[in-house]
Amino acid sequence: MVYEFRYLAPKTASELAAILEGHKTDGKILAGGTDLIPNIRNGLMKPQVVIDIKKYEGADLLTFGAEGLSMGPAVTINDLLRSKDARERYPVLCECAHELASHQIRNRATVSGNVVNASPCSDMAPALLCLGAQAVIRSATGERIVPFTNFFAGVKKTVLVPGEFLERILVPAASAGAIGSYKKLKRIAGHDLGIVGVLMTRHEGRLRFAVSSAAPTPVLIDTVGQNDSPDEAASKVLAAVSPISDVRGTKEYRVHMIGVYVRRLLAEVK
Amino acid sequence: MKIKLTVNGLLYERDCAEHTTLLRFIREDLGLTGTKEGCGMGECGACTVILNGHAVNSCMVLAAEVDGAVISTIEGEARGPSLSDIQKSFEKHHAVQCGFCTPGMVMSVKELLVDNKKPSVAEVKEAIEGNFCRCTGYTQIVEAVMDLTGRPDGKGELEHV
């Protein structure tokens, strides 16, 4: 790349927090790099300092404990998919992960990066929303926990403020075993950004839907009841989203396909 | 900064700028120009190399990030004039035309075959979904892999996919 920047790789989480505190305006966190590096190359971002979040001790931990599944910021999409426990306990999370980009990108892109990037078409966000996951956010001054329902603030915006980083994603133990399916509409069979994506989960009698690429942020809909008709379910989901027309599809197409997917998922996810 | 990398079994140590991508490092600092740059943004897969056992787009990795890593590129395939098995099968099935995508294709296939000795057609397609080919087409490439590994059940004609 022609554009020049400094590269820092802190070795502990507190060192990372201190560096971020000192580079609130000119620093950018590097995780998988699959968005950041093309953005720098294309001149869309011009950080003076690139701070690698993958090198501190514990950043790559994917663990199961009493609280559930915990993923550090260096856990890649394929690290998640290679975990037998993750595939057995959180099949929905793994199905969404499998839909993300191409194999090479899944080897590099991180789960945390996918949500911090906060694209409306995030594939991990629907699963984390439906499973009730939480973001553990850390900075030099402390730690706070934000549920993913409050994490996204707009297109490419999250509640993270400069100086903060996503230290862990927690997927609660109570969500283990949730079944579901993710329908992602794409222009081609191979890797592509979604035109729309609809995830439905069914767990302990509760239905949840999450929709990507249909609003400024990924959207959770947990108001659909067990006894709602497919038409009622589709209208509840559609009432929560606000799709637009863009290069990948029109508003009308998106609205239509969300309805199709909601009805199809209700029949399929038993 | 100093970067140490093992590429195709040889240890290289070079000084490079902190903003250098792995792709540029391999091509320009090491002179291994078999790995190509296509789109530079992770769409085309021409820059695919195997990094610590996993196929990655080297255009989106910084050399600084992978200091100490073990890397395989297309140059590590042939031994002198003798092509690797994957290369031979690509040649036999005319899975190469202009050849620009081939180094990346071969690396993606190589990673797949490490853990999966008899992949299905669907598994081969998934392994190369991040590699664009714009001339030969994917059919011959999938056939090259299927012929090399044999049908998953070990019998029958090679299916024209």
Q: State how far the alpha carbon of A211 is from the alpha carbons of A87, A133, A219, B154, in Å.
A: 22, 16, 5, 42
The DSSP line for A192-212 is ---SEEEEEEEETTEEEEEEE
Q: What is the pLDDT of residues A79-138, one digit of tens each?
A: 999 999 999 999 999 999 999 999 999 999 999 999 999 999 999 999 999 999 999 999
Which residue in A30, A104, A191 is closest to B55 by CB distance?
A104
Q: Is residue A57 part of a domain?
A: no
Domain count, chain A: 3
Nearest CA in chain A to B46: A104
- What pLDDT digit, counting tens, does each position of A53-74 carry? 999 999 999 999 999 999 999 9
Q: Which one of A44, A48, A52, A103 makes the best mutation probe of the B interface by having the most chain B beta carbons within 10 Å?
A: A103
Strands B70-72 and B48-51: antiparallel
What pLDDT digit, counting tens, does each position of A210-254 carry?
999 999 999 999 999 999 999 999 999 999 999 999 999 999 999
Considering the domain architecture, whether residues A89 and A131 belong to the same structural domain is answered as: yes
Runs of H (alpha helix) within A9-75: 13-22, 36-41
Residue A27 belongs to a domain with what CATH number? 3.30.43.10
Residues of chain B with pLDDT under 70: 151-161
Domain shared by A84 and A136, yes or no:
yes
State the alpha helices, DSSP H only, in A99-226: 103-106, 111-116, 124-130
CA A240-A242-A244 angle, 5° bins: 160
Strands (E), chain A: 6-8, 27-30, 49-52, 62-65, 68-71, 134-139, 142-147, 152-154, 157-158, 165-172, 179-185, 196-203, 206-212, 219-221
One domain, residues A164 and A184? no
Same domain, A168 and A192: no
- Average pLDDT of the residues in A150-177: 98
**So where are chain B's domains?**
2-76, 85-149
Across the interface, do A33 and B61 touch by the CB < 8 Å criterion? yes
Fold of B85-149: DNA polymerase; domain 1 (1.10.150)
Residue A254 lies in domain: 179-268
A164 and A71 housed in the same domain: yes
Percent of chain A topping pLDDT 70: 100
From chain B, pick out residues whose CB is under 8 angstroms from the CB of A108. Answer: 54, 56-57, 60-61
* Co-location of A197 and A221 in the same domain: yes
B1, B42, B65 member nearest A52 (Cβ): B65
Q: What is the pLDDT of residue B137?
A: 84
Tokens 């609809």 map to which residue? Answer: A198
Same-domain status, A165 and A186: no
The percent of residues above 90 in pLDDT, for chain A, comes to 97
B130 contact residues in A (CB cutoff 8 A): 101-105, 190-191
Contact B127 A50 (CB under 8 A): no
Check residue A190 and give its pLDDT.
Answer: 80
Asked if A157 and A66 sit in the same domain, the reply is: yes
Provide the edge-to-edge strand list for the sheet that holds B10-15.
Answer: B10-15, B2-7, B70-72, B48-51, B54-57
Same domain, A37 and A116: no
Residue B136 has a pLDDT of 83
Cα gap A149→A129, rounded to integer Å: 6
For residue A237, being part of any structural domain is answered with yes
Are A77 and A46 part of one and the same domain?
A: no
How many helices (H) and strands (E) chain B has is answered by 5, 5
Put simply, the answer to whether B55 touches A103 (Cβ < 8 Å) is: yes
Distance from CA of B37 to the nearest CA of A (A): 12
A162 and A111 within one domain:
yes
Instruction: Look at A107 and B55 and tell me if their CB atoms are within 8 Å.
Output: yes
Query: Do the domain assignments include residue A120?
Result: yes
For residues A1-23, average pLDDT: 95
3-class DSSP assignment, residue A182: strand
Taking contacts as CB-CB distances below 8 angstroms, the residues of chain B near A4 are: 17-19
Average pLDDT of chain A to the nearest whole number = 97
CATH number, domain containing residue A262: 3.30.390.50
Find tokens 């999938």 and name the residue.
B142
Pairing between strand A157-158 and A165-172?
Answer: unpaired
Of B21, B41, B126, the CB nearest to A103: B126
Does domain B2-76 bear CATH number 2.102.10.10? no
Cβ–Cβ gap B65/A30 under 8 Å: yes
In a domain, A1, yes or no: no
The tokens of A247 are what?
């290069």
Same domain, A142 and A186: no
Q: What is the pLDDT of residue B161?
A: 46
* Count of C-beta atoms within a 10 Å radius of residue B160: 7
Are A104 and B59 in contact (CB < 8 Å)? no
With an 8 Å Cβ cutoff, the interface of chain B facing chain A consists of: 1, 17-21, 24, 40-42, 45, 48, 51, 54-57, 59-62, 64-65, 108, 126-127, 129-130
User: Best residue in B54, B109, B142 to probe A by mutation, most A CBs within 10 Å?
Assistant: B54
Interface contact flag, A38 B108, Cβ < 8 Å: no
